Amino acid sequence: MKNNLFIIKGFIIYSFILLGLLTSNSLRAASNVWDVLRKEFRVSHEVTRPEVQEQIRWLVAHPSYIDKVSRQSEPFIYHVIGEIKKRKLPGEIALLPMVESAYDPFVYSGAGAAGIWQLMPKTGRDLGLKQDWWLDSRKSIRPSTDAALNYLVYLNKFFNGNWILAFAAYDSGEGTIARAIKTTTRPGRPVNFWNLPVSRETKLYIPRILALAEVINNPKRYRINLPSIDYLPYFEEVNIGTQLDLNHAAKLAGVSYKEIKKLNPGLNRWTTPPHKPYKLLIPADNVKRFNLNLSNLAENKRTTWTKHHVKKGDNLYSIAGRYNTTVNMLKRVNQLTGNTVKQNQSILIPKSQGIVALAQSDQPSTKPDVDRTNSYQQRSTKKKLYTIKRGDSLSAIAKRNRTKVKIIISLNPGLKKTTILKLGRKIQIA
């Protein structure tokens, strides 16, 4: 009898252990970004459409694209999926930044769209995103995601719950899609996106999104290895109070300046904006360290500049001379349009480190590390682009545009003197 009791107890204990292991494995599996995202997919991927099939074939032939764009999404995709789930929206929306920007927040399009959601300046302003010398919230992850989702919800309602039309309108504007519908569809009849007279870009945009969703939904079917990304917060938002230099923020958190800049791409300068509290994104694993070090940081050590209170008789020229800087620098830092200042006005004076950082912060963004060949549209981070023509060489391009070959090479990672220039390729020249 005792032996039977021992056997029963042993079986019960073993069962609990086994149940715990199974539960643990389930939780571990569910904590993968792709598993979470698949559960949120709601839009038909229309895999029988030839346009979608073409894009699927391209993805299968270029597995490095999905690998790179997935890895670039890692700092931000948890937040994006979380906001999508909170609003009960389709998970396919999380793939829009893959097509728009490859999840690179520093990408600028030739038309001026910015951030992972590639919002145009006017669209950003209409959605309440601040854009000034200090800050471009179109590139800030939290406000831009909030704005983009608000815009998509509006577009979905505008097109009577049709997400395909909403995505198309996100790419080309609701007016464009509405006019296309009006010219091809009788009132009261269902709208078929594939029959609409839209631009080539929009015709490719929708199948790109659907193909990505299909491949992510069925990676084994297409023999695609998705990189493992834990469904865990990558960053936390910290209210830092008054102005703080990003170099200081990096040291306080124990991370690189590059990491802080990556999480706070909306900051156009080397520091948070003056005259107001600011919420900085800090890597989740480093928040405690950051908060502790910040609490011990003296107020006068937070920034690399000082303030000058304008006195009677002061002008920008005398102030610039006193602090060994330039009038143009003072005007830029303080967003002054004229040359006059008022008594008791506070003027921000960059110290030497700040001036260096300011110069660095005005450099063009780097090219995103993503293969965008074939139909996957290249989104440019460049200020001035040049399209390769027949017979071009780097020396000829440099001479024609009054620059140097070494400058062009430095602005285009991967470009070398020996690189064969492909007809139609765009390169940055300034």
**Is the pLDDT confidence value at 67 over 90?**
yes
Confidence of residue 270 (pLDDT cuts 50, 70, 90): confident
pLDDT of residue 371: 35
Count of beta carbons in the 10 Å neighbourhood of residue 297: 14
pLDDT tens digits along 354-376: 554 554 454 444 333 333 333 34
pLDDT of residue 10: 54
- The residue whose two tokens read 């001479």 is 399
The mean pLDDT of 40-61, rounded to a whole number, is 97
Among 72-81, 113-122, 176-185, 379-388, which is the least confidently predicted range?
379-388
pLDDT of residue 373: 32
Confidence of residue 25 (pLDDT cuts 50, 70, 90): very low
Confidence of residue 8 (pLDDT cuts 50, 70, 90): low
Segments of the chain assigned to CATH 3.10.350.10: 305-350, 385-428
* DSSP β-bridge partners for residue 306: 349
pLDDT of residue 405: 80
Contact call for residues 242 and 294 (beta carbons, < 8 A): no
Instruction: For 153-304, list the strands marked E by DSSP.
Output: 235-239, 279-283
pLDDT of residue 367: 38
**Is the pLDDT confidence value at 94 over 50?**
yes
The mean pLDDT of 292-321, rounded to a whole number, is 85
pLDDT of residue 69: 96
Structure tokens at 384: 């001035």
pLDDT of residue 378: 41
Q: Helix or strand or coil: residue 185?
A: coil
Q: Which helix (H) or strand (E) holds 329?
A: helix 327-333
Structure tokens at 269: 């300068």
pLDDT of residue 76: 99
Contact call for residues 40 and 81 (beta carbons, < 8 A): yes
**Is the pLDDT confidence value at 349 over 60?**
yes
pLDDT of residue 410: 65
Segments of the chain assigned to CATH 1.10.530.10: 33-217
Where residue 168 falls (left for φ over 0; alpha for ψ -120 to 50; beta otherwise) is alpha
Confidence of residue 13 (pLDDT cuts 50, 70, 90): low
The mean pLDDT of 320-346, rounded to a whole number, is 83
Considering the domain delimited by 305-350, tell me its CATH architecture.
Answer: Roll (3.10)
Instruction: For 147-277, list the strands marked E by DSSP.
Output: 235-239
pLDDT of residue 359: 47
413 DSSP assignment: T
CATH number attached to the domain at 385-428: 3.10.350.10
Tell me the average pLDDT of the chain.
85
For the domain made up of 33-217, the CATH class stated in words is: mainly alpha
How much of the chain, in percent, has pLDDT values that exceed 70? 84
pLDDT of residue 58: 96
Round to whole Å and give the CA distance between 26 and 29.
5
Q: Is residue 228 packed enough to be buried (19+ CB in 10 Å), middle (13-18) or exposed (0-12)? A: exposed
More confident residue, 281 or 322: 281
Structure tokens at 324: 């060994």
